[in-house]
Amino acid sequence: MLWMVDPVLAEAQAVEMQQAHRQQLDQLRQQASRGRPSAAEAEGHAINELNRRAAVSVNLQNFGTQMTASTIDLMRAYNRS
């Protein structure tokens, strides 16, 4: 009996998902058309993002260096015991 219901439910879910995607795309298009930043604002955002990523890279390098030093110190402590 369930074999008859399963294809109908699958089709209903597919239609529902398509409608949800269409609504989401429409909302995104409306947001994009409302507030397009000027060229200067876009450039400023890009520069800020590059600076943020550079800071993240430095933090990751420092973390890696600290973890390497901690691992070496721990290995030395084990060897002394």
What does the pLDDT look like over 19-71, one tens digit per residue?
Answer: 888 888 888 888 777 777 677 778 888 999 999 999 999 999 999 999 999 99
Whole-model pTM?
Answer: 0.48
Task: Say if CB 37 and CB 45 are below 8 A apart.
Answer: yes
Tokens read off for 14: 């597919």
Task: Say if CB 62 and CB 70 are below 8 A apart.
Answer: no
Residue length of the chain? 81
Q: What is the DSSP letter of 35?
A: -
CA distance 53 to 50: 5
